[in-house]
Amino acid sequence: AYLGGGGMYNDAGSNPTLTTCTFENNTALGGDGGGMSNLDNTNPTLTNCTFTDNTVVDDGDGMYNYVDSSPHLINCIFENNIANGNGGGMLNIINSNPALTDTTVCGNTPDQISGDWTDNTGNTIADECPPDCTGDVTGDGQVGVNDVLAIIGAWGPCSGCNEDINHDGTVGVPDLLIVLDVWGPCP
């Protein structure tokens, strides 16, 4: 039996839509895809999803895409996943070509992405992850007044914007509280 897809296994043309999900500390014992495995023309859409600290015996630790499986990933994070084979963050083989938009793939072992993928802009692909500075929505290295003003300016429904710090689809009080909690210079 195939034992891939430690967190989620999709097969035979299934096309789930996932929003604000986390695949963390999953293990695929005898197959591929510690976090998620997509086989045979499976094309999920994932928005604001995180794949972290997943492990796999074979390939494609964060996500494994096989035979015409091309997910669409928007504002997702793949970090610190470990594969014994290829594609620590993601492995794409046999006509699989995921589309990444505003997605970060970093700190995965042995590599970040193996195989074809489409860069829809705004992506960060790096061996080392950037320092975490939650709350710095302006990107100036300081969590402060400018971030509060940016949150107030974006108040309300928001899909994938920096001001939606908790990734719940709305800029509001929870995001403002996060900024106040981490006030000061970024690490």
Q: How far apart are CA 29 and CA 140, in angstroms?
A: 42
pLDDT at 146 over 60: yes
- Residue pair 51/62 in contact (Cβ under 8 Å)? The answer is yes
pLDDT tens digits along 61-105: 899 999 999 999 999 999 999 888 888 899 999 999 999 999 999
Least confident of 48-52, 126-130, 145-149: 126-130
Q: Which residue has the tokens 């509060």?
A: 148
pLDDT band of residue 3 (cuts 50, 70, 90) is low
Cα 96 to the center of its chain, rounded Å: 18
Give the pLDDT confidence score for residue 8 in this predicted structure: 93
pTM as predicted: 0.75
**What average pLDDT does range 104-125 have in this prediction?**
94
Q: Which residue has the tokens 């928007």?
A: 74
Residue 20 tokens read as: 């604000």
